[in-house]
Amino acid sequence: MRLVLYQPDIPQNVGAAIRLGACLGVGIDIVEPCGFVFDDRRLRRAALDYGDLADLVRYPSWQAFTAARPAGRVILLSTRGRTRSVDFAFAADDRIVLGQESGGVPAGVFERADAVLRIPMVAAARSMNVVAAGAVALAEALRQTEGWPKA
C-alpha cells in the first residue's frame, strides 16, 4: 500500500505525509510538479527526522507515475466520491491518491481512478486537510488488510 500525493502545493503537508508514511510503514509517492521547491528546508519542520525512515519515490509527472507503478488499484480520495471510505474493500497493494490542496485532480486523473472515495463528514463540512484525509483512509485500509506495523 502506498499514499500518493498528486502535485502537492503545501510543503508542510508533504512533510506531514512523509512522517505519516514513516510511522505506519506505508510508502509515499510524490507526483510532481510540486507547487514549491522540494527541499529539506521546506519539509523538515513537519517531517522532523522521519525522512530517513520513509519510503519516498518521486515521479516527474502523472504519466511517469502510471507508466512506472506496479500492479495495484488507484484509489482516489475526493469530496466528489460516491463511495464512503469505510464502505470500501481495500487491498494491500492499493495506491491511495490525494489531490492537490488547492484544486484536487484534473479529469484525466479522476477518470483513471479505479475507485473514488470520500471520507464521511458532517454535512456542514466542505473538506478536511488532505493529509488528515489520507490518514483516515490509510487507517481503514490498514485495518482491513491487517497491514498495521507489528511493533
pLDDT in tens, 129-143: 999 999 999 999 999
Q: Tens digits of per-residue pLDDT, 16-39?
A: 999 999 999 999 999 999 988 877
Q: Which CATH fold topology does 2-145 show?
A: Alpha/beta knot (3.40.1280)
Sequence-distant (6+) residues with CB within 8 A of 64 are: 31
Instruction: Give the integer Cα–Cα distance in Å for 109 and 150.
Output: 34
What pLDDT shows up at residue 78?
A: 95
Percentage above 90 pLDDT, the chain: 75
Tally of CB atoms within 10 A around 49: 9
